[in-house]
Amino acid sequence: MSYRPVIDESACAAHGDCVEVAPTVFKMDDIAVVIGTAPDDVILAAAESCPSVAISVIDDATGQQVYP
């Protein structure tokens, strides 16, 4: 469980899809904010669900960006 989501605040259009996929990771304020964590596959699925591609995923174990 080493994936970490990063929200591009200028790209987030507040659709809320990420919150539906991963409610333990994201919550909606004016835009989505990261509030917690989840298994890697859930974080990745939430990032993939974002219509604005506003969520990048970093693997903290390697420092590499794994999505997009």
- Applying CB under 6 A, among 33, 34, 48, 52 the residue interacting with ligand SF4 is 52
Euclidean distance between the first and final Cα of the chain, in Å? 18
User: DSSP secondary-structure letter at 44?
Assistant: H
Tokens at residue 54, please? 């506003």
Q: Per CB under 6 A, which region of 11-19, 35-43, 59-67 contacts ligand SF4? A: 11-19
Cβ proximity of 10 and 58 under 8 Å: no
- Applying CB under 6 A, among 13, 39, 60, 61 the residue interacting with ligand SF4 is 13
Which stretches of the chain bind ligand SF4, using CB under 6 A?
7, 12-18, 31-32, 50, 52, 54-55
